[in-house]
Chain A
Amino acid sequence: MSSTPRLTVTGLKKSFGSNSVLHGIDLAFEPGQFIGLMGPNGAGKSTLIKILAGLYSADEGTIKLDDETVRNLGSRRECGFIHQDLGLIEDMSICENLRLGQQPMKLVGPILNLKREREAAAEAIARVGLDRDVDTPVSALSPGEKTLVAVARTLDRGARILFVDEATSTLPAADSRRLTDALRRTVDDGATVIMVSHKLSEILDDTDRVVVILDGEISTDEPTASLDREGLVERLVAKESEMAVEGEADACEIGEELIALEAACGGRAGPVDLVLRGGEITGLTGLPGSGLHDIGFLVHGSMRPVSGRVRASRKIRRALVPPHRETQGGIPVSSIRENLTLSSLPRWRGFGRLLALGQEGRDAQGMADELNVVPGDAEGPYGVLSGGNKQKVIFGRVLLKEPQVYVLCEPTRGVDIATRMEIYRLIRKLRSKDVAVLVISSDSEDLFSVCDRIGVVDDGTVEELVPAEEMNTQQLEALV
């Protein structure tokens, strides 16, 4: 085993336009440490990882491996990154995936020594505790096993400093367990592991040291042993509680039932019983993979229930902010106007059912102005907007439809603090007697900021809904 270098980061700063994301990060990682990196969405964790991986360049600061200053770690053999997207090729076998990008083992000339490659692959996956035939296609593996293959591949390429970015967030508990065990073993072996996670128990049980990033600064850097659950939650949510207070202003009369799920099943969700009434903002949270978003699709009507029933009047207008903005949200080649009006286009039908483009343009411009989309010309292209502005356009599309049922999935995913507050304000303004809002988010801050009642989704079903004021972040985190 080659020795693990010491990784030092000094004074790392990064801004996007006028938005400062990292205000100066100083960190040092010793060999043989298991570090948990935590912090709310948008705090700068992923920006830090992306800078280290070389996807962004830092505005200021240095990165050092032992005494050698490096630009980034992305191209360094001794560093490995495991993202949520594991980068495995589903149709190829474990062995083929492991060998990709590595020096081929040759028999004679260009002929591969398949036997030796298989043996090497078997050895590599055994090291992470995976016991599988190396000819198994990756598509046949469970999500946890796939992650293990990704870890094995990274280690096999010689990585000694491993960044694991929210790889456990989509895994069921048992699979997460196997992954953290495998990571623990590599740490005991002298490697460094930096794991980004939102799961408190994982961080508390498995890591040696906890680093919390809040608003672009290191707010906590302590040995795990000195922290208990409550201590850690306090360090994570110090700011969230301040923000949540704003949300409790305007109560509203409860209207009639608009939509009801009755033992509805679809995708990974179900059976779900859920009633949405006018005047209420309902929040659901849960781990990714719990069927959380599928409940949203069922309520929106874009997924038909395979069993059970979604009871809704045919006339009910429903609109959705989809969870994955880039793939499910916008039409990249179209203009901002076309993206804004897509869901309510028949409104601008005029003479001969032809579209009145002038009126459509004025209405779209009005919405873009109201939401402060930057740059503000509604005829401009959508594809070049920043994530937060894209999210505003998707919101604008939903608002223009003026639905009675709003399904808002991950409304603040990947948006900055200012936009986040704007979005919370927008959601609160929706509250009226005739409108039901369902917020589905894996970010508990969303729920406390806008929701009246909160439910936790576990394995596709919703536990009972609890009034938001009767719950605090700690309790919610404990349930998730």
Chain B
Amino acid sequence: MSSVTAGKVAASGPSALKRFATSPTMQGSLTTIAFLLLFVGYWIWLGDTFVNVDARLLDVHQNAPILILGLAVMVTLIAGQFDLSVGGMCTLTTFLSIGLVVQKDWAFWMVLVACVLAGLIGGLINGLLVVKLGVNTFIATLGTGGVFLGISSVLFGGTQLAPTDTSPQLPSWFSGDGSLGSFGEKFPSVIVWIGLAACAYGLFRWIQARKPEGRTDTSWTVISAAIVVVLAAILFALNLPAWVDGVSLTIGVLLIIGLVLWVVLRYTTYGRYLYATGANPEAARLAGVKTDRETILAFVIGGLLAALAGVILAANQGAASPDIGTGFLLPAFAAAFLGTVIMSTGRFHVWGTLIGGTFLVWVTQGLIVGGVPFTWTDVINGVVLVAAVAVSTIFRRRA
């Protein structure tokens, strides 16, 4: 999207172009542009097997739990902490979602309450350990993550778990064909359209507020509108309606979680306090921020999101296995750290995390479609994570 803006600005002279190229906006877009170029490369290489709306949305659908875990670790990262227990919590609530129904025959609303409570309590324990007892955040959450994982084994026997013909069944709206967990069940596209319209308007206002010197208000407003229209046209040329129609219920839930979290982080005092706490806890405390409370709350939110990730995972899979959450931690952290260099210069934020996590999946999928064995997934995730963190560190050092 930024390359279009660059073309428009170039009209106002080379110095404006240079200023634009070195502006924070441009620097924050570099990674996004790099990814987009990579995908164009995939397109040329693989053609329609890569640029396949259903297949790419299915990637997002299947990775929704990981993306939610990315948001979970992001919240604690904003507070300047690490939460390594999200993988364990995710596995625990997956087992609770399946096991409490199949083995204990609980009513499903009670199961959901149990999952939410598990997330809140687990997060609270993490927060208290780190803040009140001063346990190192790595050690505390590494330990509690092990405990959460262990509890799922203790409660449900430590083996794979799925409904059988004789056991109580999961509710039909939750898992199986035509349910929350199935890719076939779509999110109302009108809501997606409203969201996209809001994004377009937001982008328009954002460009409008960055009027370069020497432009009249009216002319810049027209230019801003033109940029948005051109972008929209490009998206329509890329088959936007098919993407919108393909958004599954799970992806819809993911977007709603992201939206709520974004509002909390951007439009509430809590969000602002959290960023301040993470960036300079001493200064935040002396400015009147209750840093201890904010940090504990960050762990609680992280726990809750991890619990939700587990529930969604259960809906997608319809089964639970002990190793289901292993390997989730790396892509979750990769998504959060990638988010700091997507539309941003060094800050953790919601949309960066979701987009970063999605890009990460597509990079891997592209290679798999192109013939690289799927066993390379973790290698690719690791390489992209390290590269992203290196880039974001360089940006922060400059800032």
Task: List residues of A whose CB falls within 8 A of some B CB.
Answer: 300, 302, 319-320, 322, 327-334, 338, 341-343, 345-346, 349, 353-355, 357, 381, 383-384, 397, 401
Contact = CB atoms under 8 A, between A and B. Distances in A.
A320 B286 contact: yes
Contact of B283 (A300, A330, A381): A330
B287 A343 contact: yes
Contacts of B347: 333
Most buried by B among A319, A334, A341, A357: A334
21 contacts: A319-B288, A322-B283, A329-B283, A330-B280, A331-B280, A331-B284, A332-B399, A333-B275, A333-B347, A334-B276, A341-B272, A342-B284, A342-B289, A345-B272, A345-B273, A349-B269, A354-B267, A354-B268, A355-B268, A357-B266, A401-B288
A334 B287 contact: no
B276 A353 contact: no
Nearest to A330: B283
Contacts, number: 69
Contacts of A331: 275-276, 279-280, 283-284
Q: Which 6 A-B pairs have the closest CB atoms?
A: A354-B267, A345-B269, A331-B279, A342-B287, A343-B287, A322-B286
Given A302-B285, A330-B283, A397-B287, A342 B267 contact: no
B177 interface: no
A363 to B, nearest CB: 14
Contact of A327 (B263, B273, B283): B283
A334 B269 contact: no
Contacts of B293: none
A247 B138 CA distance: 53
Contacts of B285: 302
A328 B269 contact: no
Contact of B288 (A329, A334, A343, A355): A343
B267 A357 contact: yes
B54 interface: no
B346 interface: yes
B132 interface: no
A453 to B, nearest CB: 25
Contacts of A332: 279-280, 399
Nearest to B264: A354
A357 B267 CA distance: 8
B267 A355 contact: yes
Nearest to A361: B209
B197 to A, nearest CB: 20
A391 to B, nearest CB: 13
Contacts of A338: 272, 275-276
A267 to B, nearest CB: 14
Contacts of A330: 280, 283
Nearest to A401: B288
Contact of A346 (B266, B269, B276): B269
Nearest to B275: A334
A355 B272 contact: yes
B396 interface: yes
B282 interface: yes
A334 B78 CA distance: 12
Contacts of B280: 327, 330-332
Nearest to A345: B269
A357 to B, nearest CB: 7
B286 A302 contact: yes
B257 to A, nearest CB: 18
Interface string B250-292: 0000000000000100111100110110011011111111000
A332 B289 CA distance: 16
Nearest to A333: B279
Nearest to A353: B268
A342 B276 contact: yes
Contacts of A353: 268
Given A355-B266, A381-B399, 6 more contacts: A328-B283, A331-B279, A331-B284, A345-B272, A354-B268, A355-B268
Contacts of B289: 342
Given A331-B280, A355-B267, A342 B272 contact: yes
A229 to B, nearest CB: 38
Contacts of B279: 331-334
A346 B268 CA distance: 9
B105 to A, nearest CB: 40
A330 B275 CA distance: 12
The CB with the most chain A CB atoms within 10 A, among B279, B288, B396, is that of B288
Contacts of B267: 354-355, 357
A397 B399 CA distance: 22
A343 B286 CA distance: 9
A98 to B, nearest CB: 30
Contacts of A383: 399
Contacts of A322: 283, 286
Nearest to B271: A355
Contacts of B273: 342, 345
Nearest to B209: A379
A23 B279 CA distance: 38
A341 B273 CA distance: 11
Given A333-B399, A354-B263, A328 B282 contact: yes
Nearest to B267: A354
Contacts of A333: 275, 279, 346-347, 396, 399
Contacts of A381: 399
Residue among B266, B273, B279, B289 facing the most chain A CB atoms (10 A cut-off): B279
B294 to A, nearest CB: 12
Contacts of A354: 263, 267-268
Given A333-B396, A381-B399, A355 B283 contact: no
B140 to A, nearest CB: 22
A327 B282 contact: yes
Nearest to B347: A333
Contacts of B275: 331, 333-334, 338
Contacts of B399: 332-333, 381, 383-384
A329 B286 CA distance: 8
Interface string B226-251: 00000000000000000000000000
Interface string B342-361: 00001100000000000000
A329 to B, nearest CB: 6
Nearest to B269: A345
Given A338-B276, A342-B276, A355 B287 contact: no
B349 to A, nearest CB: 12
Contacts of A334: 275-276, 279
A332 B280 CA distance: 8
Contacts of A349: 269
Nearest to B280: A331
B383 to A, nearest CB: 26
B242 to A, nearest CB: 34
A353 B282 CA distance: 26
Nearest to A338: B272
A376 to B, nearest CB: 15
Contacts of A397: 287
Contacts of A342: 272-273, 276, 284, 287-289
A368 B346 CA distance: 24
A381 B399 CA distance: 8
A183 B257 CA distance: 65
Tell which of B272, B273, B286, B289 has the most Cβ of chain A within 10 Å: B286
A34 to B, nearest CB: 38
Contacts of A345: 269, 272-273
A384 B396 CA distance: 12
